[in-house]
Homo-oligomer: A and B are copies of this chain.
Amino acid sequence: MSADAEPDDFTLHDYWRSSASYRVRIGLNLKGLRYAQKPVHLVRNGGEQHGAEHHALNPMDAVPVLVHGANVIRQSLAILEYLDEVAGPAAPRLLPVDPLARARVRSLALLIACDVHPLNNLRAMQYLERELGAAADVRETWMRHWMAEGFRAFEALLATDAATGLCCHGDTPTLADACLIPQVYNANRFGVDLAPFPTIRRVNEHCLSLPAFDAARPERQPDAA
């Protein structure tokens, strides 16, 4: 952590079940940074993310938002890269040093963050219900479809590459694990069959055994229902 950044300078605006928030909690914990939490309830009162207070912080009306002193950082992957850049050399790295290894880690993280999660986001589900009249079973089939499709590719990228270790890349957690583990949580929540994805299951089990991941679980958050 840089000399001018006290642990208590970090405030995470998050929601216990938001998987993008879950990614950032993992990153903060891996870095050993203490942070305050400001829960934003995404469902109650029509969604507190749409309220004036949160909208002023993030006009996209989304969590997570990290406030670091006077700095406001939006988008989970931008937050994680920022943490990697401002934390000192003593903190574990969320990205490896070699450019090709960094590209592999980022491409795995982006597969989840771009190709899977946005399609299953609350906003997308609300639109499907409201504008297309999609019933609950249609929406859940939709969600499972994108998760299974993404996991098929993710599993292939892990299983065919010698760089995969206990974690997605090597034996220590990276940005890729910070994205994968919350997505597996969602997959379990919505009944995706994980049998075809043995490497994903193995990495998930390993990561969840680590304190940084355990403390970030949705059910351990102060606003968990």
A119 at the interface (CB under 8 A from B): yes
Is A91 an interface position by the 8 A CB rule? no
Q: Say yes or no: is A81 at the interface (Cβ < 8 Å to chain B).
A: yes
Q: How many copies does the complex hold?
A: 2
For residue A131, which residues in chain B have a CB less than 8 angstroms away from its CB?
138, 141-142, 145
Q: A114-B113, A127-B145, A138-B132 are in contact. Are A79 and B59 (CB under 8 A)?
A: no
**Residue of B whose beta carbon sits closest to that of A138:** B132
Question: Is A78 an interface residue when CB atoms closer than 8 A count as contact?
Answer: yes
Interface of A is mostly: helix
Instruction: Give per-residue flags for A120-154: 1 if the beta carbon is below 8 A from chain B beta carbons, else 0.
Output: 00011001100110100010011001000110110
Task: Using A114-B117, A142-B131 as known contacts, say yes or no to A79 and B60 having CB atoms under 8 A apart.
Answer: no
Nearest CB of chain B from residue A223's CB, rounded to whole Å: 23
Given contacts A119-B118, A134-B132, contact A99 B75 (CB under 8 A): no
- A-B contacts, 22 of them at CB < 8 A, read A59-B156, A60-B150, A61-B153, A62-B115, A73-B100, A73-B107, A75-B114, A78-B107, A78-B110, A81-B103, A81-B106, A82-B100, A82-B106, A85-B102, A86-B99, A110-B113, A114-B117, A119-B119, A128-B132, A131-B138, A131-B141, A132-B138
